[in-house]
Amino acid sequence: MKQAIADRTTVRGFHLTFPSPVVIEVAASLDLGFVYLDGEHGAFELRDIEACCVMAERHGLTPIARVAENTVSAITRFLDRGVRGIVVPHVETVEDARRAIEATYFAPLGQRSFGGGRPHDHINAPDLPRHLQDANEGVSLCLMIESAAGLEAMAEIVALEGVDYVSFGMMDLSQSLGHAGNPGHPAVREALRKASETARAAGKPVREDFMAFAWIHDAILTGLGQILDERGKA
């Protein structure tokens, strides 16, 4: 994620909402760059997160994940399982943003906890200070704005070091703005436009600026529908 942002290139991937290393293995043949594991609304246990990370690493995909909550324990557990990009939902204040940064990065940027984790995270690392620095450089942090309060704090949030990019939870955001179920409402779209401009002005891209992605459910339905339609005409 960091490299794509720096190079101003587009990285492709998909959102996975259920644990399936096999799906990752199959999808990797499409020359993808990342897989997004939905740990907030998806059906993942920690062992599932690790299995998916192992498969992603095997095929050169960067595993990123939305955590269920903005806590040290939640973020630490996902990082220890091999996640290389943290997405924190429901960020509403600069204090929320700082909490996420503290948990995601080792010092001096944060205070990430160092523990067992995956073996490659600490075994055969003779230079631990360098190892922690490499870990910081190899992880990305995305903050999700999903409420009117988050929009109000946008300028302060994107100014913080350690925030790589932002995204918007459109359904929750539209609900917070008084237009539940209607993320396309003009007032919601205008709020999104202004917030996106604020982020970009601070040098922080919006997810859609550099990521092309599909939800696994849409991919299954679209692909299955096309195949069946074609075979039905044969």
Written as six digits, the tokens of 97 are 């943003």
**Residue 41 annotated in active site:** yes
Fill in the amino acid letter for 20. S
Q: Which is nearest to 38 in space by CA: 216, 194, 178?
A: 216
Q: How many C-beta neighbours within 10 Å does residue 12 have?
A: 14
Cα–Cα distances (Å) from 98 to 92, 142, 159, 216, in that order, read 11, 12, 11, 31
Q: Which is nearest to 56 in space by CA: 76, 75, 79, 34?
A: 34
Mode of pairing for the β-strands spanning 62-66 and 11-16 = unpaired
Cα–Cα distances (Å) from 88 to 49, 91, 163, in that order, read 16, 7, 11
Alpha helices in the chain (DSSP H): 2-7, 21-27, 46-58, 72-80, 94-104, 128-137, 148-152, 154-158, 170-176, 186-201, 207-210, 216-233
Q: Which of 15, 41, 90, 122 is catalytic?
A: 41
Written as six digits, the tokens of 160 are 């913080």
Q: Which residues form the catalytic set? A: 41
